[in-house]
Structure 1
Amino acid sequence: MDKKDYHKQLKKIVRRIYIFCSSIILIIILMLLFFFGYFKKENSLIEDNSFEIFTISNYISALDDSKDNLEIKYGFELFKSTPKYLGPQNGNIEIAYAGNNL
């Protein structure tokens, strides 16, 4: 191997080592920036506390007495009172489904 080829090979190796080390340093810098919250995106929906608290009870009480809304009200009451109908507090132990209030 002559001196010219040796220098050419050495330059290739040095260039590859330089690119590899630069890539590692860049990855480390990006990871540090990410972990310390530099890329943190502010979510205005989460921080906005001006919204009104909405519960299903408020929605149900606002319904009128149409046929569909009466079915919705009945289903909500049935869902809400299931432990009363199936649990140990229903008054008739023979129709109690479980001993707990599930």
Structure 2
Amino acid sequence: MSFVSIQNLEKTYAGSPVFKDINFDIGRGEFITLLGPSGCGKSTLLRCIAGLTPVDSGKILLDGNDLVPQSPQKRGIGMVFQSYALFPNMTVAQNVAFGLR
């Protein structure tokens, strides 16, 4: 059984599709990569999974529970935004730890 299951997910902005009929499963402990050109919907998909952007249709299942109707704070999912405001002279661990000081 998959830990995360994305089923028939669709998102549009102003009638233009961002993505349509996205389907994939992720097993517990697996890593995945979203690879595609700028503007293809990678960040929008992650925002939908985290609950920051509502989906038009489809399901986002986490351990069998549908997350779509849940608010972001009830999903138990974290997201680190890509930003060029990080300190390039620091490692990833140092950048993450900086905000915790």
What TM-score do the two structures reach when normalised by structure 1?
A: 0.22
* Structure ranking higher in strand proportion: 2
* Structure ranking higher in helix proportion: 1
Q: Whose RCO is larger (CA < 8 A, sep 6+)?
A: 2
